[in-house]
């Protein structure tokens, strides 16, 4: 049993803190946001993540998971301190390190004995060293030692709990063998493969992994756009490519591009890190541009399918950046819905979870519906932006009866083309053969 403080109760901190508690450690999750901590203490979880609330309830009841806004006390009561605060994108594209620096100062001030300081936030290469300096400069007792470790997070929203319990690998970077071993031991109950490295390489692995996955997505999206022009089917192309074990089939699903809090932020940050190091990462910049442009294909397809958009009624199914989350950060819907509204159409939107998150971010005129059917009623075209199960499994016979015109733009290639055709829809996908 380890005594661990996890600073930052955002997505990463909350999920990993809870999973570490689940395997028997005593975890204090802390945050300077007192309202958030008060809610968590009452069992109110600020994010939607399948299974998280149940696991939090179970571990708080068992006394293994505690919440506090007294960050200093949590640090003093722990042997391992995880930094899991946000590194939002600044205006220039680089990661904003303010919160990480604040936490490092706080750790220094409350370093009352040897501690292992672990960075889980996605941070530029060199941050581990920066944390070491800040902690060192703010140490109340200069004779007290500490080690710094980088242990980046690879969880996906929507499947974070199972990802955490069944990680492909835990990357642990440090110059201290003692600290690396302690963090490797912490992961032992998960049965995770451990990859030990130096601090800087661990920090780079996180950015490189996300940038590579983003590259796969932009690559297949570009191939999809070409498939449409030359008469090939991107689903078959992607499957055929993925069968080559050197390529692998994952992250080759064509669509309207990646969103979320990670890929957009981390690709920008890595391009910026590269620029600063004197290397022009042209490949990654093209990945970002390709992704930005990919969102625009929806309105192009809509125009192609129904002619003028002005005065039409469009059903938008799915608003979140991907299914099983209410996260709207960099969601393609944030570009596509305002564009449709700007072109003069009225939008009826449905998302099973993200409606409340979406409301302040989308045009006021958008009408939010409680079901797929309600959104489809009387619409001239239906646009799928997120492949939620209730959208993928919609009743096409009923949909046809409800809609004004049977036009379906499938931005996620999630509906069977054969089935839509059998139901008499005009189907537009991203690079699938009609
Ligand atoms: C991503 C990584 O997958 C995680 O490993 C990483 O820990 C996380 O970022 C992070 O840095 O914290 P996440 O953003 O939750 O996780 O979601 P993904 O499932 O990776 O999807 C990202 C976006 O790519 C979504 O918009 C999704 O729709 C899109 N995508 C994904 C595609 O368009 N095609 C695909 O084949 C796969």
Ligand 1 contacts CB of residue 322 (under 6 A): yes
* Ligand 1 site, residue 154, Cβ cutoff 6 A: yes
Which residue in the list 19, 29, 227, 262 is annotated as catalytic?
262
Domains of the chain in start order, with CATH, are 3-197 (3.40.50.720), 206-293 (1.10.1040.10), 295-428 (3.40.50.720)
Q: Is the CB of 86 under 6 A from ligand 1?
A: no
- How far is it, in rounded angstroms, from Cα 120 to Cα 203? 9
**Residue 262 is a catalytic residue:** yes
Query: d(Cα 78, Cα 2) in Å, to the nearest integer?
Result: 8
Give the residue from 263, 140, 131 showing the smallest Cα distance to 208: 263
Query: Around Cβ 38, how many Cβ atoms within 10 Å?
Result: 12
Residue nearest to atom 30 of ligand 1 (CA): 258
Q: What atom in ligand 1 is closest to the CA of residue 261?
A: 14
Distance of CA 259 to the CA centre of its chain: 8
Per-residue pLDDT of the chain (434 residues; tens, 9 = 90+): 899 999 999 989 999 999 999 999 999 999 999 999 999 999 999 888 899 999 999 999 999 999 999 999 999 999 999 999 988 888 887 888 999 999 999 999 999 999 999 999 888 899 999 999 999 999 988 889 999 999 999 999 889 999 999 989 999 999 999 999 999 999 999 999 999 999 999 999 999 999 999 999 999 999 999 999 999 999 999 999 999 999 999 999 999 999 998 999 999 999 999 999 999 999 999 999 999 999 999 999 999 999 999 999 999 999 999 999 999 999 999 999 999 999 999 999 999 999 999 999 999 999 999 999 999 999 999 999 999 999 999 999 999 999 999 999 999 999 999 999 899 999 999 999 87
Ligand 1 atom having least distance to the Cα of 266: 11
Supply the residue whose CA is at minimum distance from atom 18 of ligand 1.
Answer: 156
**128 Cβ below 6 A of ligand 1:** no
Q: What interface predicted TM-score (ipTM) does this complex get?
A: 0.98
Residue 41 near residue 9, CB atoms below 8 Å: no
Q: Ligand 1: does its nearest atom lie under 6 Å from the Cβ of 156?
A: yes
| Rounded Cα distance, 187 and 23, in Å | 9
Alpha-helix runs per DSSP H in 23-76: 34-41, 52-61, 71-76
Which of the 8 DSSP states describes residue 89? B
The closest-lying atom of ligand 1 relative to the alpha carbon of residue 217 is 34
């Amino acid at each position: 049993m380890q005594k661990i403080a996890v600073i930052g109760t955002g997505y990463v901190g909350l999920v990993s803190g809870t999973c570490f508690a689940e395997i028997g450690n005593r975890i204090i999750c802390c945050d300077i946001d007192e309202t958030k901590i008060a809610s968590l203490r009452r069992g109110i979880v600020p994010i939607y993540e399948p299974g998280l609330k149940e696991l939090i309830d179970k571990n708080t009841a068992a006394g293994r998971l505690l919440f506090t806004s007294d960050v200093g006390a949590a640090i003093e009561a722990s042997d391992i301190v995880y930094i899991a605060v946000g590194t939002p994108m600044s205006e220039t594209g680089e990661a904003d390190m303010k919160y990480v620096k604040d936490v490092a100062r706080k750790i220094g001030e409350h370093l009352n004995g040897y501690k292992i300081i672990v960075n889980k936030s996605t941070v530029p290469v060199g941050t581990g060293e920066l944390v070491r300096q800040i902690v060192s400069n703010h140490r109340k007792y200069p004779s007290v030692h500490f080690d710094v470790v980088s242990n980046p997070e690879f969880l996906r929203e929507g499947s974070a709990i199972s990802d955490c319990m069944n990680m492909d690998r835990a990357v642990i970077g440090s110059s201290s063998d003692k600290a690396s071993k302690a963090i490797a031991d912490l992961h032992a109950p998960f049965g995770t493969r451990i990859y030990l490295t130096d601090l800087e390489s661990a920090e780079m692995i996180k950015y490189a992994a996300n940038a590579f996955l983003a590259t796969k997505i932009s690559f297949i999206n570009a191939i999809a756009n070409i498939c449409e022009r030359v008469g090939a089917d991107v689903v078959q192309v992607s499957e055929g490519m993925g069968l080559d074990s050197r390529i692998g089939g994952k992250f080759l699903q064509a669509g309207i591009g990646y969103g979320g809090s990670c890929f957009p932020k981390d690709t920008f940050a890595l391009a910026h890190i590269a620029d600063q190091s004197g290397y022009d990462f042209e490949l990654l910049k093209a990945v970002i541009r390709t992704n930005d442009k990919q969102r625009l294909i929806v309105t192009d397809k809509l125009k192609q399918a129904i002619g003028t958009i002005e005065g039409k009624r469009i059903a938008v199914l799915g608003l979140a950046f991907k299914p099983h989350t209410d996260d709207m950060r960099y969601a393609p819907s944030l570009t596509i819905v305002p564009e449709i509204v700007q072109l003069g159409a009225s939008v009826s939107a449905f998302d099973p979870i993200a409606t409340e998150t979406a409301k302040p971010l989308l045009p006021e005129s958008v009408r939010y519906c409680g079901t797929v059917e309600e959104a489809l009623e009387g619409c001239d075209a239906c646009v799928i932006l997120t492949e939620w199960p209730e959208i993928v499994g919609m009743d096409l016979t009923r949909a046809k009866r409800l809609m004004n015109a049977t036009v379906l733009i499938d931005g996620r290639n999630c509906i069977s083309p054969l089935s839509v055709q059998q139901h008499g829809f005009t189907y537009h996908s991203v690079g699938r053969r009609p």
